[in-house]
Amino acid sequence: MYLVVDVGGTFTKYGYYSNTGKCLEKGKLSTVKTNCDDFYQSITNLIKDDVEGIALSMPGIIDSDHGYIHAITLLPFLNKCSIKQDLESLSHLPVSIENDAKCATIGEMWKGSLCHVRNGFMIVLGTGVGGTCLLDGRIITSAHYKAGEIGSLLIPIDEHYKMMTNFGKMNNAVKLVYDLSQILNCENDGKIVFEKLPDCQKAMEHLRLYARRMAVMIYNLDYLFDLDCVSIGGAISQQPLFIEIIQKEFKSLRKLYKEEHHEPHITACQLNNEAQLLGALHHHLKE
């Protein structure tokens, strides 16, 4: 049995899995945001007697071969940490770690929407925006672990390009749901927000503009990588209206700027919130 952990900006999901990907038990806890010691303890507290190894999925720029975190915005105390080595010393178990967007991609390649896809792209929407590119059936990696990280792409805030931010900060799912909840004057909860959305024209227009920005990103990614499929993950992807509006905005762009007939299939990931967990497990088993 393996302990599989997906660390997010708000919650840490975990599960106990067999080597075939069968989930035996799962749960979640609030992500520890204080310091390394507290964070490590939150992981080691989950170890049971029959756990054979620990598989981690985390945001950030990660050297998965050596288990080293080069940069992580959401949990800055883990910057420059050798998390694999530290946890192996504490747990006396083999530990693997991989970027969460890559884990989601691996999971979808193993048992979901990217099975048998030759050229694809995985976009993971949560507290940030993660991305992973799949070419010729293989995940694209790079020397500095940045390939596919569309959340870090710079976008201008003003028309003179003097002020910049990154795509993930402006277009993550947490910000979108919060902004919509403010327009709708309701609880900051994704399920509640999407239940109320269709009855509010202002909120629907805000979502449409968000979808337009996401569609432009997908349009450009297609011309970079000639994609067959774009799979969108994260809890928000399980809202059918969300995917439908992105698809609609993408088709609108294609009608306006079409240069050839091929276009990628845009879909929600099939594994829901389990994609990162299954991907982390599969990565661990290969390691």
pLDDT confidence of residue 26 = 92
pLDDT tens digit sequence for 150-168? 998 998 888 888 888 899 9
**Rg of the chain in Å (alpha carbons):** 19
> What number is the average pLDDT over the span 1-28?
93
Paired strand residues for 135: 138
Report helix, strand or coil for 121.
Answer: strand
62-76, 176-190, 198-212: least confident range? 62-76
The one-letter code for the residue type at 81 is: C
Whole-prediction pTM: 0.81
Cα separation, 62 vs 99, whole angstroms: 6
Q: Is 135 left (phi over 0), alpha (psi -120 to 50) or beta?
A: beta
Right CATH for 116-270 from 3.10.20.30, 3.30.420.40, 3.40.190.10, 3.40.228.10 = 3.30.420.40
Cα separation, 46 vs 201, whole angstroms: 45
The residue extents of the domains of the chain are: 2-103+274-286, 116-270
Cα separation, 133 vs 159, whole angstroms: 30
Please compute, for residue 8, the number of CA atoms within 13 A of its CA located in the half-sphere on the CB side. Answer: 25
Query: Over the chain, what is the mean pLDDT?
Result: 92
**How far from the centroid of its chain's Cα atoms is residue 217's Cα?**
16
User: Parallel, antiparallel, or unpaired for β 23-30 and 11-17?
Assistant: antiparallel
CATH of domain 2-103+274-286: 3.30.420.40
pLDDT at 260 over 80: no
Is 116-270 in the same CATH topology as 2-103+274-286? yes
User: Phi first, then psi: what are they for 278, rounded to 5°?
Assistant: -65, -40
> What number is the average pLDDT over the span 213-220?
96
The one-letter code for the residue type at 94 is: P
pLDDT confidence of residue 257 = 84
The one-letter code for the residue type at 249 is: E
